[in-house]
Structure 1
Amino acid sequence: MMTRRIRIKDVAEAAGVSVTTVSHILNRAEGKRINPDTRRRVLQVAEGLGYAPNGLARGLRLKRSHTIGFVSDQIATTPHAGRMILGAQEAAAAEGLVLLLVNTSGDPELERTSIEMLLQRQVDGVLYAAMYHRVVDLPDSLRSTPTVLLDARCENPSVPFVVPDEVQGGYTAVRELTDHGHRRIGVTVQTVDVPARQGRLAGYRKALAEVGVPYDPSLVAAETAVPFNTVGGDVDTGYRAARRLLTAEARPTALFCFNDRMAAGAYRAAAELGLSIPGDLSVVGFDNQELVCESVHPQLSTVQLPHYEMGARALAQLLTLTQTPGRSPGPDIQEMLPCPLVARASVASPPRL
């Protein structure tokens, strides 16, 4: 048996007021002087009757759909980065918004059709997210839609973004090593030239400079990774880079690894060479992928990418654009979030070589 939908007219009759008054109260109309007792009574009656507003009709009146598009290349299929989606989703839910997620797997045609679908549904704005903090080409179809980049930037400096502070993260990781007395610190990185790589290496150099250690390019081992969406590839990349450093005549006493999977490869290289961690070699990673960090022995010290916070802040930025009439994108709503150290058991004072 179907139940008749409760209308504003029904609420007005039950509360003994006009339909206009009920409409102003339930739609939170601004600038309307309504007696507080009347407002309270109408809200109680509406709740008692089980009144539910017609979201579609209200959206048409306000020219808002109360939905946000979330376009990603592969975040939805990457467990540790999925917290970006969770952060955005929970922030959206707190504002009464729904997040519509599309994952393109890096396919340009799928991305184009997915964005078309979102725009046809008149989303209020779009979060455009990418893995590995890199420079992306913002699709032309989004240039007239409120858009915030998440874990990415584009060439247009006016487009707002939320990214991790890679320089600070790299600096924090290496300072953990220098604070334990290490001075000969190797780095394992991928050859792909993205902002994440540039920033983390800049942080490495900054930390060394603070303790008076000159930069030595021979301590930076870069290896070509398999395609970035192949998770296991980074382990092999890290293994090759670490083995190259650890078999050098003057090997480092510590390694700073581009990410946690590369650090896992460094563990493998150290084991093959008979080096204990952290007795013979200290290791710090980047990302805080808990499945990796807590599965190696000893557990890996690392720097955490603030995925959840990035998603939540990107949603907040987007609301600033969609809810402020006349607001234009600009660098004043571009953010870099700090990457905190997660200390575990892979760092100790250097051995006497």
Structure 2
Amino acid sequence: MVSIPKKVHAVYSQVKGEILSGRWESGAKLPKEADLARQFGCSPGTVAKALAVLAHEGLVERRARAGTTVTYGKGDSTEKVLDAYAFIYPSDQHEGVWRTVKGFQDAATQAGRRVVMLSAGSDYLREMEMIARLSEFDVRGAVLFPVIQTPEDQVALSRLLVESRFPIVLAGMYLPGLGRTAVTTDGFHAGYTMTRHMLSRERRQVGFFSNYAWAPFMRDRYLGYRWALDEAGIPESADIVYLDPVMTPNFEDPLAESRTMARTYLQRAAGKVDAVVCADDLLALGCIEAAGERGLKVPGDLLVSGIDDYSSLPQISQVELTTYHIPFEEMGCRAFGVLDTLLGKEADQVGDVQLRGKLVIRRSA
């Protein structure tokens, strides 16, 4: 794109985003330049220059006295559509992500469907930008594996999902009330299953250790833990439950956050906990490391379990981890199937899909 002043570029980018997201569809009249100037806090001249660039790109048509009309998407779309599906995901250095991606790709290959893979890293803003610009990638619909680190991020993403006209299926996370189908793991079943296993090992001081605790799928795991304790007639103890709302993914050193949190958790729970249900495998490995630093033997002094069943973990920890196997490949495959159904000629409404995993018993518990 030609070099243009920052203020003009800012208006250009915002108007273009609204057009590509479908908020202003082909044939729609844009507000008057004076109104847009008030909206963006700039001069009418800045707006006029921005609209001139959009007209040059073929997104709008400007006519004297008739105003500005959206032309993007006008005409026979079959000339430009690749008939492809997109998968938007964070770094494939995360095992759960790349296994989900693999399931999606395998299903697409079997169906003979062209796909576009878009990696956003850990920057949720980049994911949001990709969603808003799906038209530029000439795709029919997308599966999104969200990266949401704060509730504020979730609000922003939710708004974009509501406004986007593209069929989007969520993988790994369910955001209620948006009208977007999701393929997720039954988090309640995961938390319940792992807690029941700890209780079956005759442990009664069973704690729960989680980050990202505000996220719906993490909260479901915690609720499963509470339900299992309640069934066993064991009251929950706040001293051995650690629910940290923060989650800072580090794909270069995935244990960096979990080992730091685990040190804090075990210091607070010292002498009060004999088993820990961790909300994911990385937290479990951090807990095993922190236990070793305190002179605690796993599984002798402390039982530790995770949720995920990452195949790469035996290379990190000498203690084989008892965990809950999440079928990531199936999640990707089912997400493709749901999107394919939504885009079918006689598409039916598809409900949310919850997949159940299974207990995998190893040395740590």
**Shared fold (TM-score greater than 0.5)?**
yes
Distance in structure 1 (CA, Å) of the matches to 2:87 and 2:240: 40
Q: For residue 198 of structure 1, what is the amino acid of its counterpart?
A: R
Q: Please point out which of 69, 79, 82 is paired with 2:86.
A: 69
**Contact persistence 2:280–2:306 (CA under 8 A):** yes
Q: Cα distance 1:121–1:257, how it changes in 2: closer, same or farther (>3 A)? A: closer
* Cα-to-partner distance string for 1:101-128 (whole Å, 9 max, x where unaligned): 1112244553355345542343121111
Q: Please point out which of 204, 211, 214 is paired with 1:193.
A: 214
With the length of structure 1 as denominator, give the TM-score of the two structures: 0.71
Q: Is the contact made by 2:162 and 2:179 (CA closer than 8 Å) also made in structure 1? A: no
Amino acid at match of 1:90: D
Aligned to 1:302, which of 310, 318, 323? 323
Contact in 1 for aligned 2:122/2:249 (Cα 8 Å): no
Equivalent residue, structure 2, for 1:139: 160
CA distance in 2, matches of 1:262, 1:112: 28
Aligned length: 281
Greater CA drift, 81-90 or 281-290: 281-290
Whether contact under 8 Å (1:304, 1:342) holds in the other structure is yes
CA separation in 2, counterparts of 1:309 and 1:286?
16
Cα distance in structure 1, aligned partners of 2:99 and 2:158 = 24
Matched, 1:218 2:239: yes
The residue number in structure 2 matching 1:241 is: 265
Amino acid at match of 1:147: I
Matched, 1:311 2:332: yes
- 1:86 paired to 2:102: yes
Name the aligned partner's letter for residue 168 of structure 2.
T
- Name stretches of at least 5 consecutive residues in structure 2 with no aligned partner: 1-76
Question: Residue type matched to 1:101 in 2?
Answer: M
Name the SS for the 1:124 alignment partner: strand
The answer for unaligned runs of 5 or more in structure 1 is 1-58, 348-353
Task: Tell me the residue number matched to 2:113.
Answer: 97
Three-state SS of the structure 2 residue aligned to 1:290 is coil
Provide the rounded CA distance (Å) in 2 between the counterparts of 1:132 and 1:346. Answer: 30
Q: Is the 8 A contact 1:132 1:196 kept in 2?
A: no
Q: Decide whether aligned partners of structure 1 residues 269 and 121 sit closer, same or farther in structure 2, where only a CA change above 3 A counts.
A: closer
- Runs of 4+ more than 6 Å apart: none
Q: CA deviation at 1:288?
A: 1.3
Aligned residue number for residue 357 of structure 2:
339
CA change 1:324–1:253 in 2 (3 A) is same
Sequence identity (%): 25
Contact 1:147 1:160 in 2 (8 A): yes
* Local SS of the residue matching 1:263: helix
Match of 1:292 among 299, 313, 329: 313
Alignment of 1:1-353 (within 5 A): 60=78, 65-72=82-89, 74-107=90-123, 110-115=126-131, 118-131=134-147, 136-137=157-158, 139=160, 143-190=164-211, 192-223=213-244, 225=246, 227-229=248-250, 231=254, 232-245=256-269, 247-248=270-271, 251-293=272-314, 295-325=316-346, 327=348, 329=349, 332-347=350-365
Letter in 1 for 2:362: R
State the Cα RMSD in Å. 2.7
